[in-house]
């Protein structure tokens, strides 16, 4: 059987570009005993996977990606054929596979989804009901906990996590929700499509002054997806008792020398709570998160927004576009 795959052709130097990846057609043989053949339907583009593209990248979370091999990524797909003990033909599964049409899965890390639930589009499991939507939910309900009267700032505000976080912050009662983004055009979309009250374009000069103007009552919750120099600026504007759900550091992923804040003492003097979290380690809480996100969607209080590409061969371009800020909503490649 022919299989289109996208390989890691060379290790990205800094920010990834489409030429770091190569689409090829290979012949797939299998499944062998103990394996299932998965027909991927959607591939999720996640900036975080840039972390494992460097030579020396392997850590406790994932191994470094191998050159010349299909790029690792989250997918949702259907079991087309199975010689696996717990996966059966027709199962809808989500998990870490690769940028390819068909995958052979031997491990048990795949999550079997409820395929009877025909109301839920399959791509929701990579977006609003997947790792990114649930990160917004856990970060805000566990750590951020915005209250009426408070100001919430969200970085990468139009990205897969940020666009959900902005909507949840409003729902939880925040009085002012401000999105950080890379262009005025994206900022206007944050306001008109997602209910953000205001935006800051971090490419404009004098970020510090922009925070003073846009967050006149200071910052009570900073949902951080980018880390780096923006976090440093935010720390100069936090209120006493502020909370910072630290979800990701996309500004650091493409550099060997990440720039950390030099003003961490602000966290002490303002009694700030800064806490990191990993959504995929909270599997037992997925039903709670999905249940609440689904209820909010059904009642029209939040919406799903996707930025889609067509065909596996587009994966490299789609991934590069995340770092060029071309996306708005959850980036997906339809296989
Ligand atoms: N903790 C967890 O369990 C967990 C789970 C999922 C994701 N994450 C993390 O959450 C963060 C957001 O992921 P996502 O999937 O929402 O993002 P995404 O959809 O992949 O989009 C990335 C966004 O980051 C912004 N960006 C890119 N380069 C940047 C830079 N150098 N400085 C500032 N902003 C930059 C761009 O938005 P602009 O154009 O607006 O700048 C871009 O749209 C990532 O750090 C990811 O690793 C964490």
Q: Give 130 Cα–ligand 1 centroid separation in angstroms.
A: 15
Domains: count for the chain: 2
Q: Is the C-beta atom of 322 inside 6 A of ligand 1?
A: yes
* Residue 209 falls inside a structural domain: yes
Note whether 107 and 154 are same-domain residues.
no
* Residue 287 falls inside a structural domain: no
* Residue 179 falls inside a structural domain: yes
Q: Give the residue whose CA is nearest to atom 9 of ligand 1.
A: 248
Q: Is the C-beta atom of 156 inside 6 A of ligand 1?
A: yes
Note whether 114 and 50 are same-domain residues.
yes
DSSP state of 153: E
In contact, 301 and 170? CB cutoff 8 Å: no
Q: Whole domain around residue 249: which residue ranges?
A: 133-280
Q: Quick check: pTM over 0.85? A: yes
Note whether 162 and 250 are same-domain residues.
yes
For residue 116, pLDDT beyond 90: no
For residue 197, pLDDT beyond 80: yes
Query: Is residue 331 classed as helix, strand or coil in its secondary structure?
Result: strand
Q: Is the C-beta atom of 73 inside 6 A of ligand 1?
A: no
Across 211-229, average pLDDT: 97
Higher pLDDT, 112 or 238: 238
Note whether 98 and 147 are same-domain residues.
no
For residue 115, pLDDT beyond 80: no
CATH code for the domain of 193: 3.40.50.720
Note whether 172 and 254 are same-domain residues.
yes
Q: What is the band of 61 on the pLDDT scale with cuts at 50, 70, 90? A: confident
Q: How far is CA 191 from CA 2, 163, 178, 200, in A?
A: 45, 11, 9, 11
* Residue 290 falls inside a structural domain: no
- Taking 3-state DSSP, the helix, strand and coil percentages for the chain, each rounded to the nearest 5, stand at 30, 30, 40
CATH code for the domain of 21: 3.90.180.10
Atom of ligand 1 nearest to the CA of 47: 20
Find, among 267, 223, 212, 220, the residue nearest to 239 by Cα: 220
* Residue 286 falls inside a structural domain: no
For residue 250, pLDDT beyond 80: yes
Q: Give 159 Cα–ligand 1 centroid separation in angstroms.
A: 6
Note whether 122 and 146 are same-domain residues.
no
């Amino acid at each position: 059987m022919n299989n289109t795959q996208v390989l890691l052709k060379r290790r990205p130097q800094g920010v990834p570009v489409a030429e770091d990846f190569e689409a090829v057609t290979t012949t797939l043989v299998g499944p062998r005993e103990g394996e299932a053949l998965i027909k991927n339907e959607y591939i999720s583009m996640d900036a975080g996977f840039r972390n494992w593209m460097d030579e020396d990248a392997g850590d406790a979370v994932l191994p470094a990606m191998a050159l010349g091999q299909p790029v690792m990524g989250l997918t949702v797909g259907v079991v087309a054929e199975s010689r696996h003990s717990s996966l059966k033909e027709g199962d809808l599964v989500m998990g870490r596979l690769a940028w390819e049409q068909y995958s052979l899965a031997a491990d048990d890390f795949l999550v079997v989804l409820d395929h009877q639930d025909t109301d839920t589009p399959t791509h929701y499991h990579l977006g609003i009901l997947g790792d990114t939507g649930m990160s917004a939910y856990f970060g805000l309900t566990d750590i951020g906990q915005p209250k009426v009267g408070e100001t919430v700032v969200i970085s990468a505000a139009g990205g897969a996590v940020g666009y959900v976080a902005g909507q949840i912050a409003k729902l939880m009662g925040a009085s002012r929700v401000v999105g950080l983004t890379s262009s005025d055009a994206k900022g206007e979309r944050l306001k008109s499509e997602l209910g953000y009250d205001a935006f800051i374009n971090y490419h404009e000069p004098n970020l510090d002054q922009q925070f003073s103007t846009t967050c006149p009552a200071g910052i009570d919750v900073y949902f951080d997806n980018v880390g780096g120099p923006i976090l440093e600026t935010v720390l100069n504007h936090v209120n006493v008792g502020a909370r910072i759900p630290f979800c990701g550091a996309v500004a650091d992923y493409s550099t060997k020398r990440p720039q950390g804040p030099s003003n961490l003492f602000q966290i002490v003097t303002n009694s700030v709570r800064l806490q990191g979290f990993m959504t995929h380690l909270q599997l037992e809480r997925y039903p709670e998160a999905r249940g609440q996100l689904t209820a909010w969607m059904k009642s029209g209080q939040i919406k799903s927004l996707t930025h889609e590409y067509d065909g596996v061969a587009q994966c490299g371009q789609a991934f590069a576009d995340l770092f060029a800020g071309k996306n708005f909503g959850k980036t997906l490649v339809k296989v």
